[in-house]
Amino acid sequence: MNETLHYWIVVASKDHVMRGVSGGFMQANHGKKTPLLRTKPNDWVIFYSPKQVLEQDEKCQSFTAIGQITDEGIYQVTLTHDFAPFRRNVQFYDCQETSILPLINDLNFIQNKKAWGYPFRVGFFEIGEKDFVLIKERMFNAEQS
């Protein structure tokens, strides 16, 4: 059985992405369940961080983590009395943080290069294999480029 792999972008501040990397999980769109339901085991996920820290202004504008969905399970965790996000397990890979700026003109999912940040406003979306491979190669080989 050879199911088609999908490639996803999750948008989150770098501090939140790093919490997921250290815990082996992903959240999307502030812990909503619906985006996670679109993912399947072995799908690839790339995390884009517009900012370093959620409530601060320091820009990151980089791809900060990459991994693959490891299983079928979506689960919910209670972090506070009014915040119980949904998560999915991810196998993260060692990679280099990679700026989006030199890649903008080569990424097909960014149709308007002058308003390149627009696609990231939705917080979670699918990209094509060509864009995925370009980003992945940069993240895995950043120290050599």
Q: Does 1 score more than 50 pLDDT?
A: no
Contacts of 143 (CB under 8 A, 6+ apart): 96
Quick one: pLDDT at residue 54? 87
Q: What is the pTM of this model?
A: 0.93
pLDDT surpasses 60 at 145: no
What number is the average pLDDT over the span 128-138? 97
Give the confidence band of 52 by pLDDT, cuts at 50, 70, 90. very high
- Topology at the third CATH level for domain 7-144: ph1033 like fold (3.10.590)
* Sign of torsion over alpha carbons 136, 76, 13, 95: negative
Q: Which of 17, 65, 9 has its CA nearest to residue 35? A: 9
CA-wise closest residue to 24 among 73, 97, 60, 58: 73
The average pLDDT across 3-11 equals: 93
Tell me the per-residue pLDDT of 72-101, one tens digit each, with 9 for 90 and over. Answer: 899 999 999 999 999 999 999 999 999 999
Percent of the chain with pLDDT over 90: 90
The domain limits of the chain are 7-144
**Predicted confidence (pLDDT) per residue in 102-130, tens digit:** 999 999 999 999 999 999 999 999 999 99
Are the C-beta atoms of residues 123 and 11 closer than 8 Å to each other?
yes
16-28 burial, b for 16+ CB within 10 Å, e for fewer? bbeebbeeebbbb
